[in-house]
Amino acid sequence: MRIAVLGGGPAGLYFAYLFKVKHPAAEVEVFEQNPADATWGFGVVFSEQALDFLRADDPETVDAIAPRMESWKNITLNLCERTIDIDGVGFSSIGRLELLKLLQERARGAHVKLHYDTVVPSLDRFAGYDLIVAADGLNSLVRRTFEGDFGSSLSYSSNKFAWYGTTKRFETLSQTFISTEHGAFNAHHYRFSPTMSTFLVECDRTTWQRYDFANKTIEESKSVCEQVFAATLDGHPLISNKSVWRNFPWVWNEHWSFKNMVLIGDALHSAHFSIGSGTRLAIEDAIALVKALDAESDIAAGLARYETERKPIVKKLIAAARTSSDWYEKFPEHMKLGMMDFAYSYITRSGRVDDDRLRKMSPSFMAQYDEAQRGEGTR
């Protein structure tokens, strides 16, 4: 069997590795337009639940990744110089490039052929392949070429965001909400190595327009964000890596395969960064696709099984991501709440966490919240 994987991100590399390990005789090739050491963004996040899920299917890879990860047990919220910790919310992070290098090593070790600096202008190149796995991201060539057959849809959130890094070390996954004379900002920040952190800045469209970011260079925008978050950064600079302002794109496909082509990862769907599940979904797609292909006697049946079994799971996560994104679209309004009400609104924003679950997961926070609700503490 000959398999072409378009895209050398986590989804493509992980699928290629998993399939090749299980089918050593198959010819599996990955085609990536960028160099092997190129990446955008900085760190990626996995919840404890996501790592446990991956460990059940591939403990060796998780055990290889884990020592290189930064981990914490709390979320910290900073609202206009007030701070509260929400306990029991475990996450781990790793640099995106570090993760890619590790997956590249595993793919090469399984004898997957990796082609970097390889631009694919047309799918005609893959006429002789039995299966084409489109892991080529938000701008997927495969999806765009057959978007009608995949039932593709694309929309955008109204908020603007820019993805930076910084040398400031943050002890937990943190959110900082700040009001300025021209509007409100939010920063999502967490460390992904002992010396580096992700620092994603977000604001609503009105604030973005008041600061005239549309007419500012990347460096000028970065300078403004450093001034807005000066106290949070504590003298550390922001670091840019293609850090342009953008709107979050919502990608969805009603049909997950067409002929011998199948979509996975961001080529198939996108999940808002506020729930930190983009990379998790991509890797889980790869696992599900390999399992489905192994469970059936031919490729067409395997692709159908992949969609049937995986789609309901992804829909639930995407629905939660949509609900979380809706909360962020209105975060300047939420900032008017008292600290405890704001924190409660934040942690329950996706609709997946109710009071019973919160009491088990975050007993210290819920004790403070209950006290505030009784009027005995500061809300």
d(CA 185, CA 335): 10
Q: What is the model's pLDDT at position 126?
A: 96
Are both 102 and 30 inside the same structural domain?
yes
Residue 125 inside a domain? The answer is: yes
Are both 285 and 304 inside the same structural domain?
yes
**Tokens standing for 304?**
């159908």
Q: What is the model's pLDDT at position 312?
A: 97
- List the chain pLDDT tens, one digit each, 379 residues: 999 999 999 999 999 999 999 999 999 999 999 999 887 778 988 888 778 878 888 888 889 898 999 999 999 999 988 999 999 988 899 999 999 999 999 999 999 999 999 999 999 999 999 999 999 999 999 999 999 999 999 999 999 999 999 999 999 999 999 999 999 999 999 999 999 999 999 999 999 999 999 999 999 999 999 999 999 999 999 999 989 999 999 999 999 999 999 999 999 999 998 887 788 899 999 999 999 999 999 999 999 999 999 999 999 999 999 999 999 999 999 999 999 999 999 999 988 888 999 999 999 999 999 999 888 544 4
Q: What is the model's pLDDT at position 376?
A: 57
CB 58 within 8 A of CB 19: no
Q: What is the model's pLDDT at position 352?
A: 83
Residue numbers of the domain that contains 25: 2-37+98-156+249-328
Residue 107 inside a domain? The answer is: yes
d(CA 198, CA 168): 9
Are both 266 and 320 inside the same structural domain?
yes
In sign, the C-alpha dihedral spanning 317, 319, 321, 323 is negative
Residue 351 inside a domain? The answer is: yes
**Tokens standing for 10?**
């986590």
Residue 61 inside a domain? The answer is: no
Residue 112 inside a domain? The answer is: yes
Are both 143 and 256 inside the same structural domain?
yes
Are both 10 and 106 inside the same structural domain?
yes
Residue 322 inside a domain? The answer is: yes
Are both 350 and 263 inside the same structural domain?
no
CA-closest candidate to residue 251, choices 219, 287, 285, 222: 285
Are both 301 and 341 inside the same structural domain?
no
Are both 106 and 21 inside the same structural domain?
yes
Residue 233 inside a domain? The answer is: no
Are both 350 and 266 inside the same structural domain?
no
Q: How many domains does the chain have?
A: 2
Are both 128 and 23 inside the same structural domain?
yes
CA separation, residue 43 to residues 47, 138, 196, 222, 228 (Å): 13, 18, 9, 18, 22
Residue 134 inside a domain? The answer is: yes
113's CB contacts (< 8 A; 6+ apart) are 27, 28, 29, 30
Are both 33 and 125 inside the same structural domain?
yes
- The one-letter code for the residue type at 294 is D
pTM, whole model, 2 decimals? 0.93
CB 312 within 8 A of CB 265: no
Are both 348 and 312 inside the same structural domain?
no
In sign, the C-alpha dihedral spanning 4, 9, 11, 16 is positive
The CATH number that applies at residue 264 is 3.50.50.60
